[in-house]
C-alpha cells in the first residue's frame, strides 16, 4: 500500500460495503426472522444460526481468494469463479424455496401437519398438529425437529456456497503490493461488518416480531416462511438481471 491513509480508507470501504451488501440483500436476515417467529426459536438459538451461516458465507469467499492468491490468479479469474458460484446458488436457493413453500402449503391445507403452535407457557414450543396423541404425536414432534435441522443445514449450505462478490477486488488491491497485513485487515473489516449487520438486523426483526400476535397464521407458518424464502430468491435473481442491464 502507498500509505497508512490508503489502508485506512480501504478498511473503511470494506466495512461500508460489508454493511451495504448485507442490508440490501434481504436474504441475509428475513429467512432467519421467519424461522425464528414460526419455529418459536429462542434468541440464543437464532443468533447461533445467523452467526454460523454468516461466518460460512464470508469464509468461503476468503478461502477462494486465498487459494487464488496462492495460485497467482488475477482479479478477473477470481471474479469469474465467484460469479459462477453465485449463479448456481441463486437457482439452487430458488428451488429450495419453492420446495419449502410447497411443503408448507400442503401441510397447512391438510390440517396443519408440520405447523407450530407455541406452548401455553410460552417456551420453546413443540409441534402440535393433527398427528394425534401419544406415540403418534411424539413421533410427529421428532419428525418436525428433523425437518427443522434439515432446513437449517440447507440454508447453511446456501450461505456457505453463496459468494461475497465484492470482497475479492477489495483484498486483491493490497495483495498486489504484497501487503499481507493489509489483506488481513480488509478481510476482517468486511467479514466483521457483514456478520454484525446480519446479527443486528435479525435481532431487530426478532424482537419486533415478538409482540406480533399471529393467531391463526401459526398453521401457515411453514408456508409463510417458504414464501419469504421465495421472495428473497426472486429478489436475488432480479437484482442480478438489473446489474447485468
Domain ranges of the chain: 4-244
**Residue-level pLDDT at 130:** 43
Q: Out of 91-95, 97-101, 123-127, 144-148, pick the least confident.
A: 123-127
- What are the pLDDT digits (tens) for 151-186? 888 899 989 888 777 777 787 777 777 778 888 899
Region at 25 (left for phi over 0; alpha for psi -120 to 50; beta for the rest): beta
Cell of 26: 434481504
DSSP 153: H
User: Does the pLDDT of residue 228 top 90, yes or no?
Assistant: yes
**Residue-level pLDDT at 45:** 95
The whole-model pTM stands at: 0.78
Q: Which residues contact 164 (CB under 8 A, 6 or more apart)?
A: 21, 57, 58, 61, 190, 194
More confident residue, 137 or 14: 14
Q: If we measure between CA atoms, which residue out of 194, 161, 29 comes closest to residue 93?
A: 161
Q: Out of 28-37, 77-86, 124-133, pick the least confident.
A: 124-133
Distances (CA, A) of 139 to 87, 122, 129, 133, 203: 39, 22, 12, 10, 32
117 three-state secondary structure: strand
Distances (CA, A) of 156 to 31, 46, 62, 98, 237: 11, 13, 17, 17, 19
User: Does the pLDDT of residue 94 top 80, yes or no?
Assistant: yes
Q: CA 6, CA 169: separation in Å to the nearest integer?
A: 15
Average pLDDT over residues 10-21: 93
Confidence of residue 119 (pLDDT cuts 50, 70, 90): very low
**Residue-level pLDDT at 3:** 63
User: Does the pLDDT of residue 143 top 90, yes or no?
Assistant: no
Residue 38 and residue 225 in contact, taking contact as beta carbons nearer than 8 Å: yes
User: Does the pLDDT of residue 120 top 60, yes or no?
Assistant: no
Confidence of residue 211 (pLDDT cuts 50, 70, 90): confident
Amino acid at each position: 500500500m502507498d500509505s497508512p491513509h490508503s489502508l485506512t480508507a480501504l478498511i473503511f470501504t470494506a466495512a461500508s460495503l460489508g454493511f451495504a451488501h448485507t442490508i440490501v440483500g434481504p436474504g441475509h436476515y428475513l429467512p432467519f426472522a421467519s424461522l425464528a417467529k414460526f419455529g418459536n426459536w429462542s434468541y440464543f438459538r437464532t443468533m447461533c444460526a445467523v452467526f454460523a451461516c454468516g461466518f460460512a458465507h464470508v469464509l468461503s469467499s476468503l478461502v477462494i481468494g486465498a487459494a487464488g492468491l496462492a495460485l497467482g490468479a488475477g482479479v478477473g479469474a477470481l471474479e469469474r469463479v465467484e460469479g459462477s458460484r453465485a449463479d448456481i446458488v441463486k437457482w439452487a436457493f430458488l428451488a429450495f424455496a419453492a420446495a419449502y413453500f410447497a411443503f408448507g402449503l400442503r401441510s397447512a391445507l391438510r390440517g396443519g401437519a408440520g405447523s407450530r403452535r407455541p406452548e401455553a407457557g410460552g417456551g420453546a414450543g413443540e409441534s402440535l398438529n393433527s398427528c394425534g396423541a401419544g406415540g403418534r404425536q411424539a413421533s410427529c414432534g421428532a419428525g418436525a425437529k428433523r425437518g427443522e435441522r434439515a432446513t437449517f443445514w440447507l440454508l447453511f449450505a446456501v450461505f456457505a456456497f453463496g459468494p461475497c462478490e465484492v470482497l475479492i477486488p477489495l483484498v486483491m488491491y493490497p495483495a498486489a503490493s504484497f501487503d499481507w497485513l493489509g489483506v488481513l485487515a480488509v478481510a476482517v473489516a468486511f467479514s466483521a461488518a457483514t456478520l454484525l449487520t446480519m446479527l443486528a438486523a435479525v435481532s431487530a426483526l426478532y424482537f419486533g416480531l415478538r409482540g406480533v400476535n399471529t393467531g391463526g397464521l401459526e398453521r401457515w407458518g411453514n408456508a409463510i416462511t417458504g414464501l419469504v424464502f421465495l421472495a428473497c430468491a426472486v429478489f436475488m435473481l432480479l437484482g442480478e438481471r438489473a446489474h447485468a442491464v
